[in-house]
Every structure is written in C-alpha cells, then in structure tokens.
Amino acid sequence: AGGNNTPAFMAVSSAQQSCAHNTWIVIACPTEIYDSDSAYDTSTYKFTVPVGEQGVYVFSHTNGIQSMTSSAELIFGIASNNAAGFGKSSSATSEGFASGTAYRVVTAVANLDAGDEVWATVVQGTGSTQNTTNSAAFSGFKLIGSPF
C-alpha cells in the first residue's frame, strides 16, 4: 500500500436500485473487483482513506437511471464527509436529453485525509420513483501523497 497508485478499489453492482423523486441515495456496489487496502466497505458502499494514506485521490462513478423524461433533472455525484477536500460537489447534471434510460460517468479529484469517507450518489427529478440500471460501478485510487 501507499505506492503505485494505491490504495485503489473498484466495486460494481448487478442489481437495480430504487431512487425516489428528489431524494439523494448512496449507490450500492456490493461486489469488489479489487481493493488493495481493504478500504472499501461492501456493506456501506463507502471508501475510507486508510491511516497514513492521505493525499490526492481520483474517483469515478458510472450508472444510469431508467424512464427519464426530457425535462427531468438527473444528477450523479461523488460525495464525501470532507466537503473541503472536494471543494464544490462533483456531479454530472443532465436536462433536455431524449426520454429513456440516461447513462452518465462522473469523475472527481479530491485532497483527502485519513478517515475521510467517499461514496457514489444519485438524485433524479422525474416526479416519481425510478430505478437505476443494473450496471453501476464505483472506483478510486490515490494519485499522489498530500501536497499540503
């Protein structure tokens, strides 16, 4: 750990998830593809920066929402308990796309401290509950040690 872009993890889901109108949910990715430092929790779906591994991290979240309408708002995000590390929220917002299933990829870079948690999230504004697709992925890795 601590070198060669570690800690690093990738987790996926093969199940849909219900997403109520205007309600942020944590994306459930319970299946680890890899987890170099056992820092991703498959029960909370959160990555926790290990002790001694503070630094700049890169995260990616891929997902989709079914039954979107062309006027509805869709926001996929990557959130953290360290808002200062992220600065502003990292998200991909979509309005005015064709109706149907909408897929998005969000990438975020954050300067994080040991113990900080990071998770993938989504909210949609269709006016009713919708399902995510069954192909979500959440991943991340340490880019460099803390520059500060």
Q: What is the pLDDT of residue 63?
A: 81
112 close to 52: Cβ distance less than 8 angstroms = no
Q: What is the pLDDT of residue 121?
A: 86
Q: What is the pLDDT of residue 92?
A: 47
Per-residue buried b or exposed e for 87-96, using 16+ beta carbons within 10 Å of the residue's own CB: eeebbbebee
Which helix or strand (DSSP H or E) is residue 84 part of?
helix 83-86
Q: What is the pLDDT of residue 84?
A: 56
Which helix or strand (DSSP H or E) is residue 24 part of?
none
Short-list 28, 17, 2, CA closest to 119: 28
Q: What is the pLDDT of residue 99?
A: 59
What is the pTM assigned to this prediction? 0.84
Output helix, strand, coil percentages for the chain, rounded to the nearest 5.
Answer: 5, 55, 45
Q: Give, as one character, the DSSP assignment of residue 29.
A: -
**Per-block mean pLDDT, blocks of 10 residues, the chain (148 long):** 81 90 89 97 96 93 74 70 55 52 80 91 82 88 86
Q: What is the pLDDT of residue 85?
A: 54
Dist. CA 54–CA 148, nearest whole Å: 10
Q: What is the pLDDT of residue 122?
A: 83
115 close to 39: Cβ distance less than 8 angstroms = no
Strand partners, 142: 57
Q: What is the pLDDT of residue 86?
A: 55
Q: What is the pLDDT of residue 72?
A: 64
